Amino acid sequence: MNNEHQHRLVALLNGLAPFEGYTLSALEGVRFMRANHPLPRIPVMYEPSIVIVCQGRKRGYLADASYVYDASHYLVLSVPLPFESETDASEEEPMLAVALRIDLTVAAELVLALSTSRKDQMVAPAGICSTPMSDDMSDALLRLLTALTVPDDAAILGPAIMKELLYRVLTGPQGGAVLASLTQHGQFGKIGKALRKIHEQYGSGMDVGTLASEAGMSVAAFHANFKAVTHTTPMQYLKSTRLHKARLLMVQDGVSAATASSLVGYESSSQFSREFKRFFGRTPVQEAVEMRSALMLMPAEPGPEYAMQGLRPGFEIQPYAMAGS
């Protein structure tokens, strides 16, 4: 990202994201993130997204790999993955970022439109990758943020610019890996079916055998391929999904820890409490109190229908579907 683009993007984000946490934009699928102080490593789970940091730095950790996303690199997640994230920021230089949800219908349209030579560049699918930021990407992002300052521009111009940004990702340095994952290339697509089942039915009883059957694979092959895609085991992934959803239920819907544990599929509330504390570092009650104290609902421009949500980045997990599903 060149200096001129970065300076203008930071100026726009300071206005679009005036408060810490997430700010919803005038365009569905676009959220702004701001942190005015460093955030330690915390468990997060994002929906399929492109995350572009314009100031400050974030680091993601998954298994033995780490991913830096800053003004020079953007992060792409083609499937929801539980990982850990930390943020470098300060009052003088806050972390300012944009999270763009990947519309898998638009992705499928782009795949069909891409030339055969582009499709031949597909490599092993990657559920997560950090990619160098190009001037083409930062120019498109600058036009998107500028459009988001005007409601009519956001509604009319925004979707086309979002499509352009996804196109830049698919034709960028890591495009082959992202393209392969979004088109359910090979075994990745079979794992995608199991991931969809987890996110649709996380509250029901399921085991590795059920998920392997959903993917049309043997248990051994499913386990190996699932770990290759998500860097975790099927049951650990299911547990992470349930715990993230339970936290969301407690904070956003105000349900008790016992109710949340039951809704996400735990039969034992004591087991839920133990696993929750091990995962998040606090008891369910402590975490709910902490998050509620951080939750703010304030109007964000251009009107009261766009609300700022003072939640730690990575707090939310959204439903998703794999391309072609």
231 and 98 belong to one structural domain: no
How do the pLDDT tens digits run along the chain, 325 residues long? 788 999 999 999 999 999 888 888 999 899 999 999 888 888 877 778 899 999 999 998 887 788 999 999 999 988 777 788 899 999 999 999 999 998 877 887 887 787 776 656 666 677 788 999 999 999 999 999 999 999 999 999 999 999 999 999 988 887 777 777 766 656 677 787 788 888 888 888 888 988 898 888 899 998 888 887 788 889 988 998 899 889 888 887 888 999 999 999 998 999 999 999 998 888 998 888 877 665 443 333 333 222 333 344 444 433 333 333 3
Tell whether 232 is covered by a domain. yes
Residue ending a domain, choose from 138, 154, 183: 183
In a domain, 104, yes or no: yes
How many other C-beta atoms can be found within 10 angstroms of the C-beta atom of residue 299? 11
Q: Is residue 320 part of a domain?
A: no
- Would residue 38 count as lying in a domain? yes
Of 183, 203, 229, the position where a domain reaches its end is 183
- The whole-number pLDDT of residue 294 equals 54
Distance separating alpha carbons of residues 228 and 223, to the nearest angstrom = 9
pLDDT value at position 275?
93
Looking at the fold, whether 162 and 144 belong to one and the same domain comes out as yes
The alpha helices in 253-310, defined as continuous H runs, are 257-263, 269-280, 284-294
Q: Does residue 140 share a domain with residue 193?
A: no
Domain range holding 140?
3-183
Site of tokens 């694979």: 217
Do 45 and 105 fall into the same domain?
Answer: yes
At 43, which CATH number? 2.60.120
Total domains, the chain: 2
If asked whether residues 173 and 215 sit together in one domain, one would say: no
| Three-state SS sequence of 144-211 | HHHHCCCHHHHHHHHHHHHHHHHHHHHCCCCHHHHHHHHCCCCHHHHHHHHHHHHHHHCCCCCCHHHH
Give the per-residue pLDDT at 144: 97
Indicate whether 57 belongs to any domain.
Answer: yes
Domain shared by 7 and 138, yes or no: yes
Residue 318: inside a domain: no
For residue 21 the two structure tokens come to 């946490």
Residue of 164, 157, 155 lying closest to 27 (CA atoms): 155
Q: Are both 179 and 191 inside the same structural domain?
A: no
User: Do residues 60 and 110 share a domain?
Assistant: yes
Residues 107, 131 share a domain: yes
Residues near 213 by Cβ (< 8 Å), separated by ≥ 6?
none
Domain co-membership, 149 together with 201: no
State whether 164 and 226 are in the same domain.
no
Question: 317 lies in a domain?
Answer: no
Q: What are the tokens at 140?
A: 């498109």
* Residue 277 and residue 160 share a domain: no
* Residue 323 within any structural domain of the chain: no
CATH number at residue 240: 1.10.10.60
Question: Given 183, 209, 228, which residue is the final one in a domain?
Answer: 183
